[in-house]
Amino acid sequence: LLAYKNVKKYMFFGILISGISVFLEGFASSVYQLYFLTLVLQLASNFALALPFSILMLRWFRGRSSFAISIIFVGVSLGGMFWSSPITALIEAEGWRMAYRVIGLVIMLIVAPLCLLIVRNYPEGEEKSVENAAHRASKSQKPKFDKALYREKRFWLLTAGLFFNSFACVALYHIPAFIQSLGYTAAFAAMMVSFYSFINIFSKVGMGMLFDKLGLKAGVLLGVFGTLGCYVFMFIASGIPSVPMIAVFSFLFGIGLATQSIFMPSLVSGVYGQEKYSTIYGRISVFTLMASAISNPIISAVYDVTKSYRIAWMICIVIA
């Protein structure tokens, strides 16, 4: 849908529906309502987050797209840095329901209108020519499902790498709980989220520059260093907790977390080019989202059974 279509339109509705879903989650009266609204949120967020961002950057910044994508995703890190502590404070003061309602209203009333005001599908002068070409192509030939792609060794290697990387980013959802399991407060955990989000700003920019200047391997090595180092120090901290140890693994996670947003667009465009980008991205997303879907329950189950994250972090070290 997004390969030649109006990204702004899909992005606006993706953001709007995401905001409505989060807002309604604040009123959920059963876990099944929460599940349903989260499903809607996940479907809508595909049109609101990484894919439209990266497609727009590939259209606007040819030749330095990885750096441009890294700059865009710096906004995500800034959001994590500035909002984690206020939202934690809001949850503690008013409860999670009120926090969800506030977040939903912000998305609906501020983010969605900003999308309409700011987003442009193509650089000035290109939009009509590209849309006309896409219209002629859609009239002359029907879209084909390229089965040959699934016989390519490089497709499966790239998919496997991104699958395991997506699994390895599971700490994003567990670090606050892990820090609290070591005996620290929710406020301190939120402060560490702000800290690794701050580090993530520079790691995203650095990783984007490495991809553009030195090639794909250089950017991948930086990401692997951060991810693997983070889990090694988290494993050590689970046995010997201390503030310096938590600061070290948070710092390294700030580097490793950049892989979640930068790896996929940079590697897919670097290996396959812009023309096939949307199609390849969509197909690989099936597997990376599957990794995210299974990694959270696995890590949570390990913690529930053992009452510790040590074995969970050992699993993540192996995968990283």
State pLDDT tens for residues 24-80. 999 999 999 999 999 999 899 888 887 788 778 778 877 677 777 778 778 877 887
Say which residues have a Cβ less than 8 Å from residue 108's Cβ, sequence separation at least 6: 16, 19, 20, 23
Region label for 145, one of left (φ > 0), alpha (ψ between -120 and 50) or beta (otherwise): beta
Cβ 266 vs Cβ 161: under 8 Å: no
Report residue 135 CA to chain centroid gap. Answer: 31
Report CA-CA distances (Å) from 206 to 221, 223, 289. Answer: 12, 10, 25
Average pLDDT of the segment spanning 171-186: 89
pLDDT tens figures, 245-304: 999 999 999 999 888 888 888 888 888 887 777 778 888 988 988 998 899 899 999 999
- The pairs formed by 71-76 with CB atoms below 8 angstroms and a separation of 24 or more are 71/204, 71/205, 71/208, 73/204, 73/258, 73/261, 73/262, 74/201, 74/204, 74/205, 76/261
Instruction: Identify the burial level of 153 via C-beta atoms within 10 angstroms of its C-beta, where 0-12 means exposed, 13-18 middle and 19 or more buried.
Output: exposed
Q: Given a cut of 90, is residue 190 above it in pLDDT?
A: no
User: What average pLDDT does the structure give for the chain?
Assistant: 86
Quick one: pLDDT at residue 142?
47
Q: Given a cut of 70, is residue 137 above it in pLDDT?
A: no
Closest to 282 measured CA to CA, from 159, 194, 197, 196: 159
Quick one: pLDDT at residue 133?
55
% of the chain residues with pLDDT over 70:
92
pLDDT tens figures, 98-124: 999 999 999 999 999 999 999 888 887
Furthest-apart CA atoms within the chain: distance in Å: 65
Cβ 303 vs Cβ 232: under 8 Å: no
Average pLDDT of the segment spanning 171-177: 86
